[in-house]
Amino acid sequence: VSALEWAAPAEGVDEAIVSSVRRFAQRELDPLEIDEAAQIPTRVLAHLSALGVFGLTVPEQHGGLGEGLRLATRVVAALAEVDRSVATTVGLHLGLGTRALVRYGSAQLQAELLPSLASGEWLAAFGTTEPGAGSDLSKLKTKVTADGDGLRLDGEKAYVTNGGLARLLTVTAASAGEGGLAKGMAMVAVPMLGRGVVRLSEEKKLGLRGSSTTGCLLDGVKVPQHWMLGDPSTGKAQLDHTLAWGRTLLAAGCVGATTSALGRARDHAAMRRQFGRPLEEQPVIQGQLASATVLLGAMRALMETAAAQADDAALHRWSVSAKVFCSEQGWAVTDTALQLHGAMGYLENSGLPMMLRDMRVTRIFEGANDVLITHAGALELQHPAARDDLPSMAQHVADAVARRGQRLREELGVRAFRRPELLHWLGLAVVWRDAVVAGCRHFDSGAWQRTLCREACAARRSADRRLHPADDQAQILARSR
Ligand SMILES: Cc1cc2nc3c(=O)[nH]c(=O)nc-3n(C[C@H](O)[C@H](O)[C@H](O)COP(=O)(O)OP(=O)(O)OC[C@H]3O[C@@H](n4cnc5c(N)ncnc54)[C@H](O)[C@@H]3O)c2cc1C
Mean pLDDT of the chain: 92
Distance 364 CA to ligand 1 centre (A): 5
366 is catalytic: yes
Atom of ligand 1 minimally distant from the CA of 208: 1
First to last CA, the chain: 72
Average pLDDT rounded to a whole number, residues 354-376: 98
What is the Cα–Cα distance from 390 to 330, expressed in whole angstroms? 25
- pLDDT band per the 50, 70, 90 thresholds, residue 480: very low
HSE value, Cβ hemisphere, 13 Å, CA-based, for 44: 23
What is the Cα–Cα distance from 87 to 255, expressed in whole angstroms? 11
Distance 140 CA to ligand 1 centre (A): 13
159, 291, 365 from 199: Cα distances, Å:
11, 44, 20
- pLDDT band per the 50, 70, 90 thresholds, residue 364: very high
In 3D, which of 265, 263, 204, 196 has the Cα closest to residue 39? 204
- φ, ψ of residue 160 in degrees (nearest 5): -85, 110
Report pLDDT for 84.
98
- pLDDT band per the 50, 70, 90 thresholds, residue 469: low
Report pLDDT for 475.
53
Tell which one of 99, 205, 365, 426 to mutate to probe ligand 1, the residue whose CB is within 8 A of the most ligand atoms: 365
Contact in structure between 250 and 321 (CB atoms under 8 Å): no
Among candidate residues 280, 304, 366, 455, the one labeled active-site is 366
Tell me: pLDDT of 9 over 70: no
Q: What is the DSSP letter of 64?
A: S
Tell me: pLDDT of 31 over 80: yes
Average pLDDT rounded to a whole number, residues 218-239: 97
Atom of ligand 1 minimally distant from the CA of 161: 8
Residue type, 69: L
| Of 54-68, 105-119, 277-291, 467-481, minimum mean pLDDT range | 467-481
More confident residue, 477 or 305: 305
Report pLDDT for 451.
81
Atom of ligand 1 minimally distant from the CA of 128: 11
Most confident of 13-27, 382-396, 465-479: 13-27
Distance 220 CA to ligand 1 centre (A): 26
Tell me: pLDDT of 459 over 80: no
Q: What is the DSSP letter of 278?
A: E
Atom of ligand 1 minimally distant from the CA of 163: 8
Residues 90-125 pLDDT 10s? 999 999 999 999 999 999 999 999 999 999 999 999
Atom of ligand 1 minimally distant from the CA of 129: 11
Tell me: pLDDT of 227 over 70: yes
Distance 345 CA to ligand 1 centre (A): 29
Residues 284-317 pLDDT 10s? 999 999 999 999 999 999 999 999 998 899 999 9
Residues 383-441 pLDDT 10s? 887 666 677 888 888 888 888 898 888 888 888 888 999 999 999 999 999 999 898 88
Most confident of 334-348, 372-386, 420-434: 334-348
Report pLDDT for 431.
95
Residues 313-332 pLDDT 10s? 999 999 999 999 999 999 99
- Total-model pTM: 0.94
Contact in structure between 53 and 120 (CB atoms under 8 Å): yes
Q: Hey, whose CA ends up nearest to atom 13 of ligand 1?
A: 159
Contact in structure between 210 and 85 (CB atoms under 8 Å): yes
Tell me: pLDDT of 352 over 80: yes
In 3D, which of 105, 97, 108, 104 has the Cα closest to residue 53? 97
What is the Cα–Cα distance from 87 to 362, expressed in whole angstroms? 13
Tell me: pLDDT of 236 over 80: yes
Contact in structure between 67 and 57 (CB atoms under 8 Å): yes
**Plot region of 258 (φ>0 → left; ψ -120 to 50 → alpha; else → beta):** alpha
Q: Burial of 461 by CB count in 10 Å (0-12 exposed, 13-18 middle, 19+ buried)?
A: exposed
What is the Cα–Cα distance from 370 to 357, expressed in whole angstroms? 19
Q: Hey, whose CA ends up nearest to atom 48 of ligand 1?
A: 368
377 CB neighbour count, 10 Å cutoff: 31
- Using CB distances shorter than 6 Å, the residues near ligand 1 are 126-129, 134-135, 159-161, 205, 208, 213, 361, 364-368, 370-371, 374, 420
Tell me: pLDDT of 8 over 50: no
Average pLDDT rounded to a whole number, residues 165-184: 97
Distance 120 CA to ligand 1 centre (A): 28
Distance 225 CA to ligand 1 centre (A): 30
What is the Cα–Cα distance from 476 to 473, expressed in whole angstroms? 5
What is the Cα–Cα distance from 217 to 199, expressed in whole angstroms? 6
Q: Hey, whose CA ends up nearest to atom 26 of ligand 1?
A: 134
What is the Cα–Cα distance from 165 to 100, expressed in whole angstroms? 19
